Chain A
Amino acid sequence: EADIYQTPRYLVIGTGKKITLECSQTMGHDKMYWYQQDPGMELHLIHYSYGVNSTEKGDLSSESTVSRIRTEHFPLTLESARPSHTSQYLCASSEWTVDVTEAFFGQGTRLTVV
Chain B
Amino acid sequence: DAKTTQPPSMDCAEGRAANLPCNHSTISGNEYVYWYRQIHSQGPQYIIHGLKNNETNEMASLIITEDRKSSTLILPHATLRDTAVYYCIVRVRGYGGSQGNLIFGKGTKLSVKP
Cβ–Cβ contact B93 & A108, under 8 A = no
Q: Which residues of A are interface residues toward B (Cβ below 8 A)?
A: 2, 31, 33, 35, 37, 39, 41-45, 48, 56, 58-59, 88, 90, 92, 94, 96-100, 102-108
Count of B interface residues, CB-CB < 8 Å: 24
Q: How many A-B residue pairs have CB under 8 A?
A: 61
Question: What is the distance, in angstroms, from B58's C-beta to the closest C-beta of chain A?
Answer: 14
CB proximity of A4 to chain B, nearest CB, Å: 8
Give every chain B residue within 8 A of A31 (Cβ-Cβ).
100
Q: Contacts A96-B95, A98-B93: A45 and B102 contacting too (C-beta < 8 A)? A: yes
CA A56 – CA B31 in complex, angstroms? 22
A33 touches B102 (CB 8 A): yes
Assess whether B107 is in contact with A88, with CB atoms less than 8 Å apart. Answer: no
Chain A residue nearest to B85 (CB atoms) is A42
Give B74-114 as 1s and 0s: 1 = Cβ < 8 Å from A's Cβ atoms: 00000000000000000111110010111111110000000
**How many whole Å from A82's CB to the nearest CB in chain B?**
22
When C-beta atoms are compared, the residue in chain B nearest to A110 turns out to be: B41
Q: Are A43 and B104 in contact (CB under 8 A)?
A: yes
Cβ B46 vs Cβ A48 within 8 A: no
Complex CA distance for A34 and B93, rounded to whole angstroms: 20
On whether the beta carbons of B101 and A33 are closer than 8 Å, the reply is yes
- For A2, A92, A100, which residue has the most chain B Cβ atoms within 10 angstroms? A100
